[in-house]
Amino acid sequence: MVKIYTRKGDDGTTGLWYGGRVAKSDPRPEAYGALDEAASALGLCRAAASGHEEIGADVLRIQNELFVAGAERATAPDAADRLEPGVTRVTEQMVARLESDIDRYMDRVELPPKFVIPGGTELSARLDLARALVRRAERRVVDIQRAGDLPDTTILRFLNRTSDALYAMARFADEPEPQVFEGRA
C-alpha cells in the first residue's frame, strides 16, 4: 500500500520543490493552493461539458496549464533556474494560446451591455465559478509580486488571460443568452 501521508506537514509547514520549507500560510502555498482550487473547479466544468466537446478540450488544457503554474509557484525561489518552460514554468506561448481561445469564443458571442449574472446554464455557472477562483489565484500571485519575489511576471498575464478565457467560454455556454444585472433592488 502506498501511504500518502508523510507527517512532515504536521508542524504547519510544507515543502517546496527543490528544497526548503515554508509555512502553509506563506504566499507561495496560498498561490498554488488557489491554483489547485481553480483546477478542481474546472474538473466540474469538464464533467458538465457534455455536448460541448470544444469547451471540454479547452478546459482540460487549461487544467494542465494551471498545474504548470502551480509547479512554478511551488518551487523554491533559488531553484527557479531549474524550471522547464511549458512543464513547470508558464510561457508566453501559453498566454498567446489563451488569447486565441478568447477571440475564438468571443467571435461567436454577442455580449449584453450590462453585467452578466452567472447561472444561465449549469456549465456557464461552473465556468464563472472557476473564473472567480482563477482571479483569487491571480491576487495571491500579485501578493508574491508585491513582496518582490516574482522575477518573471508571465504567470500574471497567464492568469489574467485564463480568467478572460473562462469568461468567454461561459458566455458561449449561456444558452440562449445570458441573464443580466438589472440594477434594481
Task: Give CA angle at 161 (160, 167), nearest 5°.
Answer: 100
**Cβ pair 171, 112 in contact under 8 A:** no
Q: What is the mean pLDDT of residues 97-123?
A: 92
pLDDT at 77: 87
Query: 77-87 pLDDT, tens per residue?
Result: 889 999 999 99
Greater confidence (176 vs 102) lies with 102
pLDDT at 19: 87
Superfamily, domain 8-175: Cobalamin adenosyltransferase-like (1.20.1200.10)
The residues facing 180 across adjacent strands are 116
DSSP string, 78-113: GGGGG--BTTTB--HHHHHHHHHHHHHHHTT----S
Residue 117: pLDDT band with limits 50, 70, 90:
confident
Could you tell me the pTM of the whole model?
0.92
pLDDT at 110: 87
How many Cβ atoms are within 10 Å of 33's Cβ, its own excluded? 19
- Ranking 61-70, 92-101, 115-124 by mean pLDDT, the lowest is 115-124
Query: 132-175 pLDDT, tens per residue?
Result: 999 999 999 999 999 999 989 999 999 999 999 999 999 999 97
pLDDT at 185: 54
- Look at residue 8 and tell me whether its pLDDT is greater than 80: yes
Length of the chain: 185
- Look at residue 179 and tell me whether its pLDDT is greater than 90: no
- Would you kindly state where each structural domain of the chain is located, as residue ranges? 8-175
pLDDT at 176: 66
**Cβ pair 34, 143 in contact under 8 A:** no
